[in-house]
Structure formats: C-alpha cells, structure tokens
Structure 1
Amino acid sequence: MPARAPRPVVLTGPHVRLEPLSRDHLEGLFATCGGDEEVWRWLIAPTPRTPGELAALVEPLLAQMRDGERVQFAVRDRGTDRAIGIAGYRAFDVRHERIKLSWLVIARPYWRTAAACGTLALQLAHAFEDLGMRRVFWHTDHRNHRARGFFDSVGAHCEGTHRRDIRLPDGTFRDSDYYSVLREEWPEVKARLTARAARAAAGPAPGGGEPGDGARRGGPPRRPS
C-alpha cells in the first residue's frame, strides 16, 4: 500500500473514540484536563488555567489542521462519552513513509486505564494499517520516567536522547527521548498493548505503571509532545 497523509477521520476502538478536534470539544477538555499541573508537566505548553488559555493553545493546532500540516483528535472515553484528552499526528512524510505522534494529553483520572493503551493503539494501527506508514515516531521529556517506562514495556524502540532539544515555557530547555515503532515491529507492539489494555480493564495491576496500566477509574498514556 502506498503511504498517504492522514486526514481528519473518526477512529473507534473498544475503549476510546478519536474525533477530529474542534472548538466544540474545548468545554469538555477543560473540565477534565484544565488547570492540572501533572497533566501538562512534561509538555511544551503551559498549563491552561482558564478556558480561554486552553482555547489559545488549541487555536494554532486547529489552524495547522486547516493548512494540512497536522491532524489532531479529541480523545473521548466510550464508557462515559467524556472528552478526556488530545492526540494527533504531524511531520508526516509519504515519500519516506513516516509519521510523528504529537500532543498526547490525557486527563489524570484516566491514567492507568484501558483507554490509555487504546489511544496509542488506535494511532499506531491507523498509521500502519490504514495510512501505509512504515515508521511512527515521537518524543517525550527525558525526565518523564513514567511515560518512558510505558513505551519500553510495550516494545517501542528508544532511539536516544536529543540534548537541549526544546525550549520550555519557563525558558529552560529539555532533553528529549525519541521513540519509534517500525511496521515489522507493529504486530508485537499491538499484542502487548492489547494484553495491557485487557489487564487494565479487568482491574488494578500490581505496582505503579504508566497510564494504560491499572483499573478504569472513571474514565488514558502521557505522552509524546
């Protein structure tokens, strides 16, 4: 299958539905994600403390969607129908058959749930199985040990650390750990994500673990930026 660029479509899995992001999602997203320092700690955007601040963060994403530069989704929990986060694609290159995951934000009550694995699984499945990509990549803050542990556990490959990679809202720079999955690795990663989601749906897993591990608590992982 020749690779093709993503388009705003609805992606539905057992635990979450990814809908093309719009202003209509902002009220629900602020209710679940707004004002929580932990949700935004490792992202490259400041914590939105008002609906207006969240709108100011989302508007550039919507503009880039209109320009065909990225596709962003609102993550909706199928059990409650609540908007619980944001996920997306950018930096896609059909010639080189690669695509980047970006802006994965998940509300804290939904960490360690089956919905967490479901969000990542839907994005990877769409990239490999529908878009014909051969490489999916993303990055996270080097200090985000929880996310790094989760990515390692499901079989994503850590390609290394880019030092002084991105300027943060406070003016400091972060080191970023880059991860990827190749098309030939996807079946194993898919199996691990599916098994992890099944354990999470069944009840709490022992230990801490990254979002995507544990019981459904009312409502998914952090997160590539």
Structure 2
Amino acid sequence: MLEKHSLSTDQVILKPLSQQHLDKLFAAGQDPKLWRWILGNYCKTPQILSEWFYNTAQFDPEQQLVMGIYSKADKKIVGTTRLFRLDKQNLSAEIGHTFVGVPWQRSCINTHSKYLLLNYAFETLKLVRVTFGTHEQNQLSRNAIARLGARFEGIFYKDKRLVDGSFRNTARFSIIDQQWPQIKAQLQEKL
C-alpha cells in the first residue's frame, strides 16, 4: 500500500486528499478553461465532486495516491494531482490527473508538486519509470511536462474516451531512474 503522508517544499504541501479538502478543491476548479483537456469536470457541482472523491479518488489505494495541492502562501488547497497505475512488478507508475486552479497556473505550484511526486516515486518507492500523459493538442501541458525533463515517447492514438464520446490521442512522456539524478538537480535549481 502507498503510504499516505504529506510531502512538502517551502511553497507547497501535497496532502493526501480528504473530504475536508473538497470545498477548497471545488472553488479552485470553477474556471471552465481548466476542463478543456481533462476527461471530465468533477468540479461541476459539489455532488459530482463528492462522487468523484468516493468513487475515483479513493479507488484502489494499492495503486494510487491522490493528493491535494496546498499552497503555503495562500493557505489553501489549489488543485489536485496523483501518482497512479503503480505497477509493483515493473516498478513503474504514472503522474497525472492534475489540475491547478487558474490563479496558480504558471506559478511555482506545479513544478513543486511534480518534484515532490517524482522524488517520492524514485527515492521512496524506488521506481525505475514514471510516465506522464496529456491530450495531444494540449500544448501548454506538453510544454510543462517537457520542462520537468521528461522525454517525449510518442502519441498513443485513441487512448482515452472523452465525456462527449470522442477519443483522445495521448502524448506520452517518461522519466527513468537513470535520468532522475540530473532531472532532480535541475528541478531543485528551479525550486
């Protein structure tokens, strides 16, 4: 089972997402621009968010760790991210299902959050591979993933079905354990 404890830098605390975070998460998720590239808007109503929390965010704690992103400066939850698809046999996982409220985008929040999850994945869980995926057309997300130091691996066609019935082509990136020391040093400079 993944350990459920907080991870922190001087700017961000990743807290295991709990019911007490849902009001702030709902408030952070109200800008419709957030949901253009994400599979479904779970912040559409408090009821949908609650259902998402109990049915998706709490699904299989052996394979995923869902975190609320807490901004120390703002003293509140400003988004969510997760480590998921943990494969203990192959020592791999994915980082994603991330959203950061619009006022905190293009700030240090996402870099700090991803650094914390990557550090946990490689240093605590001793994984050898971490992947990221985003909509093929979401250039802002693709750029952010590449800035972390992740390597573009290609497009996975018709990888996910969207709520409107269409299919998403996913741009896939990865970081492997041999790359982590250099990427870690580069991220620490950015922090």
From the superposition, tell whether residues 144 and 134 of structure 1 become closer, same or farther in structure 2 (CA, over 3 Å). Answer: same
Among 39, 48, 71, which residue is 1:44 paired with?
Answer: 39
With normalisation by structure 1, the TM-score equals 0.79
Residue 19 (structure 1) aligns with: 15
Q: Which moved more, 1:50-59 or 1:188-197?
A: 188-197
Q: What CA distance in whole angstroms lies between the structure 1 residues aligned with 2:42 and 2:33?
A: 9
Name stretches of at least 5 consecutive residues in structure 1 with no aligned partner. 198-225
Q: What is the distance in 2 between the residues matched to 1:19 and 1:161?
A: 32
Residue pair 2:82, 2:97 contacting (<8 A) in 1 also:
yes
Q: Secondary structure at the match of 1:80?
A: coil
Distance across 2 between alignment mates of 1:61 and 1:12: 24
Secondary structure in 2 matching 1:166: strand
- What is the 5 A alignment of 1:171-182? 171-182=165-176
Is 1:120 paired with 2:110?
Answer: no
Is 1:8–2:15 an aligned residue pair?
A: no
Report how far residue 49 of structure 1 moved: 2.5
- Alignment-derived partner of residue 187 in structure 2: 193
2:101 paired residue number: 107
Secondary structure of the residue aligned to 2:59 is helix
Indicate the RMSD between aligned Cα atoms, in angstroms.
1.6
Any conservation in 1 of the 2:132–2:145 contact (CA below 8 Å)? no
1:85 equivalent in alignment to 2:79 = yes
| Alignment of 1:30 onto 2:26 | yes
Q: Which has the higher strand share?
A: 2
CA contact (8 A) 1:21 1:72 kept: yes
Identity of aligned residues (%): 26
1:122-156 Cα distance to aligned partner (Å, 9 max, x none): 00001001111111112100011011112223320
Equivalent-residue separation in structure 1 for 2:82 and 2:12 (angstroms): 14
Comparing 45-54 with 79-88, which one deviates more in the overlay? 45-54
TM-score (norm 2): 0.93
Q: Distance in 1 between matches of 2:137 and 2:165?
A: 17
If asked which structure has higher relative contact order (CA below 8 Å, sep 6+), I would say: 1
State the match for 2:52 in structure 1: 57
The separation in 2 between residues aligned to 1:167 and 1:42, in whole angstroms, is: 12
1:85–1:106 Cα contact (<8 Å) kept: yes
Give the CA deviation at 1:47.
5.5
Which of residues 146, 149, 163 in structure 1 aligns to 2:140? 146
Deviations 1:42-66 (A, max 9, x none): 111135322222222222134314x
* Alignment partners' CA distance in 2, 1:42 and 1:95: 31
Does the CA contact (< 8 Å) of 1:117 and 1:194 recur in 2? Answer: no
Residue 17 of structure 1 aligns to a residue in which SS? strand
Corresponding residue pairs, total: 191
Q: Is the 8 A contact 1:45 1:57 kept in 2?
A: no
Kindly indicate whether the alpha-carbon contact (under 8 Å) linking 1:37 and 1:47 is maintained by their aligned counterparts in 2: no
CA contact (8 A) 1:46 1:169 kept: no
